[in-house]
Amino acid sequence: MAQFDVYRNANSATRARIPYLLDVQSDLLDSLATRVVVPLCKPGILKGRLAERLNPVFEVEGREVAMLAPELAGVPAKALGEPIANLSSQRGAIIAALDLVITGI
């Protein structure tokens, strides 16, 4: 597992709203049984309330998805499956969103 890997959401109850999960946990913590992830949702779910820095938009499998930074959560690593993409090229935007959630800056 690598930081900024993207996984398909395996939860059938939330998959329509949140098709992907973004792993934001440092690779230094690979030995933990959990990973910190952030949901990636369809931008329309936010009904035009995208905050550019808090909800950066990325492309995954040809689809636009918005990062729901305030909804980060820990999940069992074994529940994630295989990565389908990696957003490390978007590191700056991802870290800026997480910084806003955690430090308010």
Categorize the per-residue pLDDT at 16 as very low, low, confident or very high, splitting at 50, 70 and 90: very high
Residue 62 φ then ψ, to 5°: 80, 5
Over range 57-79, report the average pLDDT: 96
pLDDT, position 46: 81
Predicted TM-score (pTM) of the model is 0.94
Return mean pLDDT, the chain.
94
pLDDT, position 69: 96
Q: How far is the C-alpha of 73 from the C-alpha of 75, rounded, in Å?
A: 6
Q: How far is the C-alpha of 43 from the C-alpha of 50, rounded, in Å?
A: 8
User: CA dihedral in degrees (51, 26, 71, 60; nearest 10)?
Assistant: 60
In this structure, which CATH number among 2.30.30.110, 1.10.10.10, 2.10.70.10, 3.40.50.300 belongs to the domain 5-103? 2.30.30.110
Burial (Cβ within 10 Å: 0-12, 13-18, ≥19) of residue 69: buried
Categorize the per-residue pLDDT at 49 as very low, low, confident or very high, splitting at 50, 70 and 90: confident
Whole-angstrom CA distances from 47 to 42, 43, 56, 66 are 10, 7, 15, 12
**Residue boundaries of the structural domains of the chain:** 5-103
Over range 16-32, report the average pLDDT: 95
pLDDT, position 12: 94
How do residues 71-104 score in pLDDT, each as one tens digit?
Answer: 999 999 999 999 999 999 999 999 999 999 999 9
